[in-house]
Amino acid sequence: MILFFLRHGEAGINSHSDFERELTDKGVSASKSVGEFCKKSEISFTHIITSPLVRAKQTAQEVVKFFPNTPIEESEFLTPDSDPKNLFHLLRSFTSGSKILFVTHEPFASTCISTLISGTETANVVMKTTSLACIETHGTPVRGNGNLLWIIPSDFIKK
């Protein structure tokens, strides 16, 4: 299984709640760049799963414009303080050939990646806005059975 972790684009600070924070113009542009980068790089997804927070959903909507036949789902298991074990349980329903893009937040993205590649939450993984990481797992994702293939920072994606 191939798992991609995308941290949402830059979000504004003026909203009624953290849940409702929207992408800035820069965040929309960077999210669009991720979709374009993936398309040009022949990176594809069988599923896109996004956090229910507005900024993550907006990021996913920009990416899916380049992959119009890829279904998008929401999951409460991708919020900033989610526990990776809940996501691992959800992934049991996917096939080993799945290539899933998760649009999520910090600290969840770095915690989940760390758990997959080291079995602990102590690997020093940092996901800045619109950074994209790729993890390959051997079988159903569990603690320590993933290999980090790459992390691409947003600045590189824009180029």
**Segments making up each domain of the chain, as ranges:** 2-158
Pick the CATH number of 2-158 from 3.30.70.980, 2.40.400.10, 3.40.50.1240, 3.40.50.1370: 3.40.50.1240
Q: What is the pTM of this model?
A: 0.96
Q: Which of 100, 52, 101 is nearest to 78 (CA)?
A: 52
Position 14 scores a pLDDT of: 83
94 in Cβ contact with 1 (< 8 Å): yes
Position 159 scores a pLDDT of: 72
Alpha-carbon distance values, 43 to 10, 38, 75, 91 (Å): 23, 5, 22, 20
Position 78 scores a pLDDT of: 98
By three-state DSSP, how is residue 146 classified? Answer: strand
Position 19 scores a pLDDT of: 85
Position 108 scores a pLDDT of: 96
Kindly give the parts of the chain with pLDDT less than 50.
none
Position 10 scores a pLDDT of: 96
